A and B are shown apart, each in its own frame.
Chain A
Amino acid sequence: EAQVTQNPRYLITVTGKKLTVTCSQNMNHEYMSWYRQDPGLGLRQIYYSMNVEVTDKGDVPEGYKVSRKEKRNFPLILESPSPNQTSLYFCASSLVVGGPYNEQFFGPGTRLTVL
C-alpha cells in the first residue's frame, strides 16, 4: 500500500531533550516536506527536500533540522525542543513540486507536546 508513515504518532517531552520524528514513504517520491499545523495558522512548511542530500528551508525552519540521506526517509530533528514547538506535525511527499505530479501525500501526523 502506498503510504507515508510517521513515528511516533504522539510524543510528550520536556524542554531541551533532543528528539527525532521519523518519516518514510514507499512511493519513490523525490519531494518530501514537513509541516506544522497550529490553530488559526493552517499548515506551515518547515523544511523540504527536492531529492537525496538536497534540503531547504520553508517558512518556519527555526529550531528544526532535517536530513535526507535516503530517498524514502526524511527525519525531523528538534535539537532542543521548546514549548512553542508544541504542535501537530505532518510529513508529506510528492513526485515533484512545481511539476505535473505534485499532489502531496500526507502522513497521519505526529502530535508533539513540549513541557
Chain B
Amino acid sequence: AQKVTQAQTEISVVEKEDVTLDCVYETRDTTYYLFWYKQPPSGELVFLIRRNSFDEQNEISGRYSWNFQKSTSSFNFTITASQVVDSAVYFCARTSGSRLTFGEGTQLTVNP
C-alpha cells in the first residue's frame, strides 16, 4: 500500500511558538489530492485544506500555511503563533484512485 507518513507522533510547544507538522506520502499516481484534517479533543474531524497534485503553490490562511513539494512528496503544515485552541490531532491524507489514505496523525499540544 502507498503510505502516508507523519513521523512526529507528538509535539508539545508553548503558546505563540511556530510549529510545523510534517507529512510525507508515497504515490505512483500522476493525479491525486492531499488533505489536512484536524481532530480536536471533542473528537470530530474538521477539514482544513485540499491540494491537487498539479498545484504546488503554497497556501496561507490566517495563522495556517501549507508547503507542498512534489519533488520530495511532502505536504507540511505550519501554524504560526500557536494558540491553546490549536491543541488537537492533525491528520494528513492522500487520495489514490477512489481511496483515501490517512497518516498516523500528530498530536499537537500547545501549552499556555
Q: Once the chains bind, are B102 and A98 in contact (CB under 8 Å)? A: no
Instruction: State in angstroms the CA–CA spacing of A43 and B43 once bound together.
Output: 13
Could you mark each residue 88-111 of chain A with 1 if its beta carbon is under 8 Å from any beta carbon of chain B, else 0? 101010000110001111101100
Interface size class of B (residues with CB under 8 A): 20 to 34
Q: Which residue in B35, B93, B104 is a CB contact (below 8 Å) of A41?
A: B104
Question: Is the pair B50, A103 in contact by a Cβ cutoff of 8 Å?
Answer: yes
Instruction: Report how far A90 CA is from B44 CA in the complex, Å.
Output: 9
Most chain B beta carbons < 10 A, residue from A35, A50, A58, A104: A104
Known: A40-B9, A40-B104, A104-B100. 19 other contacts (CB 8 A): A33-B100, A35-B102, A41-B104, A42-B4, A42-B91, A42-B105, A48-B98, A48-B99, A59-B1, A59-B99, A90-B45, A98-B95, A98-B98, A102-B50, A104-B35, A104-B37, A106-B44, A109-B43, A109-B44
The interface of chain A, by Cβ under 8 A from chain B, is: 31, 33, 35, 40-45, 48, 50, 56, 58-59, 88, 90, 92, 97-98, 102-106, 108-109
